[in-house]
Structure 1
Amino acid sequence: MLTKTQAVDGTAIKKAIEGRDGKLLSSFYNDDALVRVIDRNNPPSKPREIRGRAAISIFWDDICSRAMTHKVDATIAEGDNLAFTQACAYPDGTKVYCAAILELKNGRITRQTVVQAWDE
């Protein structure tokens, strides 16, 4: 479990995402964090914005409750930034690919930008 002195890192992100642990994922965020999602329905000029840990928790609970697999392929850390790629698959074969960049402060996520593409 994340403690106040433990920084978010690639290993923790991988464990939480692949384990579909929405509670652990939401614990990585500052109370005033922002998640921006860019995809077909949310273009760069009007990204979906999820503000605050409470809303982010609902977001992760929804994703983690879906019958799908998640695999974190790569993580890269530099200073107060962490990036990762993720491949997901639904039971019907539909695939989703995601690239995310996290901005950290004191080891917690303050801002996340997600770019994702879905099979259509």
Structure 2
Amino acid sequence: MLTKTQAVDGAAIKKAIEGRDGKMLSSFYADDALVRVIDRNNPPSKPREIRGRAAITTFWDDICSRAMTHKVDTTIAHGDSLAFTQACAYPDGTKVFCAAMLELKNGLIARQTVVQAWDE
């Protein structure tokens, strides 16, 4: 059964992330999408790059399979751009904060940049 393509908007992103629905999240991306992750281990000069829907699906499946909570706090949409902040917590109390900027093309995510910080 195919996942029904849903319009990418703040409400859909919030539902998929907070519901830990990797399949829904993956359906939001173009086949040739690029996700860039910037954090302590992946600095701005050498971000982690995840290319293509298959690799992005693996990325989201990993994140959504973890025992943790996700809360999308703020979402801002303007034209073909969508941005949101996300607060996550692991059962041991470790927290992660993410800010993401998405570029949409033909209703799908073409590029996404994530900046995240972890408790250390």
Distance 2:70 2:83 in 1: 16
CA RMSD for the aligned pairs? 1.8
Report the equivalent of 2:71: 71
Question: Does the CA contact (< 8 Å) of 2:5 and 2:28 recur in 1?
Answer: no
The percent of aligned pairs where both chains have the same amino acid is 90
**Which residue of the partner structure matches residue 58 of structure 1?**
58
Q: Which runs of 5+ in 2 are unaligned?
A: none
CA-CA distance at 1:7 after TM superposition:
2.4
Contact 1:83 1:100 (8 Å CA) reproduced: yes
Q: Residues 106 and 59 from structure 1, CA distance in 2 versus in 1: closer, same or farther, beyond 3 angstroms?
A: same
Return closer, same or farther for 1:2/1:69 CA change in 2, 3 Å cut-off: farther
CA distance in 2, matches of 1:75, 1:95: 20
1:108 equivalent to 2:108? Answer yes
Q: Unaligned regions of 5+ residues in structure 1, if any?
A: none
Count of residue pairs the alignment pairs up? 120
Per-residue CA deviation, residues 34-87 of structure 1 (Å, 9 max, x unaligned), is: 000000000000000000000000000000000000000010000000000000
**TM-score, normalization by structure 1:** 0.96
TM-superposition CA deviations, 1:88-107 (whole Å, max 9, x none): 00000000000000000111
C-alpha contact 2:84 2:100 (8 A) present in aligned 1: yes
Residues 1:5 and 1:53: Cα distance change in structure 2 (over 3 Å): closer
Residues 5 and 58 (structure 1), Cα distance of their counterparts in 2 relative to 1, 3 Å cut:
closer
Contact 1:8–1:28, Cα closer than 8 Å, also in 2: yes
Equivalent residue runs for 1:1-120 within 5 Å? 6-120=6-120
Distance in 2 between the 1:19 and 1:54 partners?
Answer: 21
1: CA distance, partners of 2:13 / 2:2: 11
Shift of 1:3: 7.9
Q: Which runs of 4+ in 1 moved over 6 A?
A: 1-5
